[in-house]
Structure 1
Amino acid sequence: MAQSPMHLIKLCVGISTLEELESYRSERAHWWGADYGEDVHVHRTRMMPKRAEEIEGRGSIYWVISGVIRARQRILRLAAATDGEGKGCCDIIMAPDLIRVSPRPKRPFQGWRYLDPKEAPADLGGEGNDADSPLADELARLGLI
């Protein structure tokens, strides 16, 4: 029996919109000097997830922006890395596409957390869905979406 995928959830500290996250990712694509190819995005984090087998190639990272889960990116793989101070860390290598999800409020937390697929917000389908709209923010804050 195959394991079900596991996801990660992460705060976007200092980011207030999806467009800002996209810009940040473009500017920082090879910030740490790691080269995983041209068509990926990399987020460096301190700890390697212990549940890597359930995540790599199957899970996503869900981004919390301004207190609301707004988007996800597919996780292609996790790579052990070393930071500039010689300390071990983990590079989360992701597909470049941001997939908007149904906005859901999320309280602040440190680092990343596991997110069970049953708890993950649904993808928003089609064009014209604005996960950054003030109305979507208010509905999510009220727990209506």
Structure 2
Amino acid sequence: MDKHINLIKLSVGTDDVENLIDWQRLPQAQTADGLPRHVTRMWPKREAEILNGGSIYWVIKGVIQCRQRVLRLDQVIGQDGIRRCAIVLDPELHRTNQALRRPFQGWRYLKPEDSPADLPATRDAEDPLPADLSAALAEIGVL
């Protein structure tokens, strides 16, 4: 299998996975072709590895809760004339096993072996745990 790398990013102001989905459906969070995107200041140096099967893992309320496959990186020039990177995402979110993460700025690389596994599809229909309970269980290693 070819080498890939993932990204990890805080979803600031997001309460749960459904809230992230709702945000990504807004026109300002989408590309011209209707795909969700996240615009960031820094362009990943490991672009080829990200585009070789990488995903972005979303940290919501201090816990990794889901991921999306990265489809491409688009250049975006802001009104201030500064070049930025739009991380264009597959609209399908995959819920993952939950893992605690301390706050950090921007995004970070996440090795595949350090990335939480996807939850089985049968668990997608379950009601999610409250964020504080989920974080507490992840902290003691139950999730």
TM-score, normalising length: structure 1? 0.88
- Cα offset for 1:34? 4.6
Q: Which residue of 2 aligns with 1:61?
A: 56
- Cα offset for 1:97? 0.7
- In the TM superposition, 1:37-76 aligns within 5 A as 37-38=33-34, 40-76=35-71
Matched, 1:132 2:131: no
Q: In structure 2, how many angstroms separate the alpha carbons of the residues matched to 1:33 and 1:66?
A: 23
3-state SS, counterpart of residue 75 of structure 1: strand
Of 114, 123, 129, which aligns to 1:119? Answer: 114
3-state SS, counterpart of residue 118 of structure 1: helix
Q: Which residue of 1 aligns with 2:85?
A: 90
Identify if the C-alpha distance between structure 1 residues 32 and 117 changes in structure 2 by more than 3 Å, giving closer, same or farther. closer
1:73-119 deviation per Cα after TM superposition (whole angstroms, max 9, x unaligned): 00001112211211010000110011000000000000000000010
Q: In structure 2, how many angstroms separate the alpha carbons of the residues matched to 1:128 and 1:32?
A: 27
Alpha-carbon contact 2:5-2:50 (below 8 Å) kept: yes
What is the number of equivalent residue pairs in this alignment? 140
Identify if the C-alpha distance between structure 1 residues 100 and 107 changes in structure 2 by more than 3 Å, giving closer, same or farther. same
Q: Identity of counterpart residues, as a percentage?
A: 41
Q: In structure 2, how many angstroms separate the alpha carbons of the residues matched to 1:83 and 1:139?
A: 41
Matched, 1:77 2:75: no
Question: Structure 1, unaligned stretches of length 5 or more?
Answer: none
- Cα offset for 1:131? 7.9
- Cα offset for 1:33? 8.1
- Cα offset for 1:143? 2.0
TM-score, normalising length: structure 2? 0.89
Give the AA of the match of 1:26.
R
Give the root-mean-square deviation of aligned CA atoms. Answer: 1.9
Select between 93-102 and 76-85 the one with higher mean Cα deviation. 76-85
Select between 73-82 and 60-69 the one with higher mean Cα deviation. 73-82
Q: In structure 1, how many angstroms separate the alpha carbons of the residues matched to 2:103 and 2:11?
A: 10
